[in-house]
């Protein structure tokens, strides 16, 4: 089932932020964290970034999910207004991702066309109004 979540980017503060949000919204809510150290890319990262959060998930209110990642200086990432918050569209079909992406990316200032990544079909764009959209295909069960 398709859903929309909010994706947040932090400068190596994702875990700290999510622990804080969890304490506010629901201290009992399950939280998942995948670290860069759990991935093959860990060996290419400086020591201070290896334990950073590659992907975190936390349900906050009525099924709304927050997602997060730590942006890494070693990869040229810089957290700024415009890339710190993203509407994350989790869609069942590639065709629907391609259709919506084609429209939202018209006039976009930054974009990565949908393509295959290790976790699945993914893309992102900063639309002509400065809203950042991320596209992920929901894995079939």
Domain ranges in the chain are 3-137
C-alpha count within 13 angstroms, C-beta hemisphere, residue 112: 12
Looking at 3.40.640.10, 3.60.150.10, 1.20.1560.10, 3.10.180.10, the CATH number of the domain 3-137 comes to 3.10.180.10
- pTM listed for this prediction: 0.76
pLDDT digit string, tens, across residues 2-40: 888 999 999 999 999 999 999 988 899 999 999 999 988
**What SS3 class is residue 51?**
coil
Contact 42, 50 (CB under 8 A): yes
Is the confidence at residue 77, as pLDDT, over 90? no
């Amino acid at each position: 089932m398709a859903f929309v979540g909010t994706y947040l980017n932090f400068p190596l503060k994702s875990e700290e932020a999510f622990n804080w949000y969890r304490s506010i919204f629901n201290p009992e809510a399950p939280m998942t964290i995948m670290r860069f150290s759990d991935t093959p890319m860990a060996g290419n990262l400086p020591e201070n970034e290896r334990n950073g959060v590659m992907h975190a998930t936390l349900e906050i209110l009525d099924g709304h999910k927050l997602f997060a990642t730590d942006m890494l200086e070693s990869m040229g990432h810089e957290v700024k207004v415009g890339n710190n918050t993203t509407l994350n569209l989790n869609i069942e079909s590639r065709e629907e991702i391609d259709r919506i992406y084609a429209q939202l990316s018209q006039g976009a200032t930054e974009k990565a066309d949908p393509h295959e990544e290790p976790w699945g079909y993914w893309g992102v764009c900063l639309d002509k109004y400065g809203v950042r959209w991320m596209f992920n295909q929901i894995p079939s069960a």
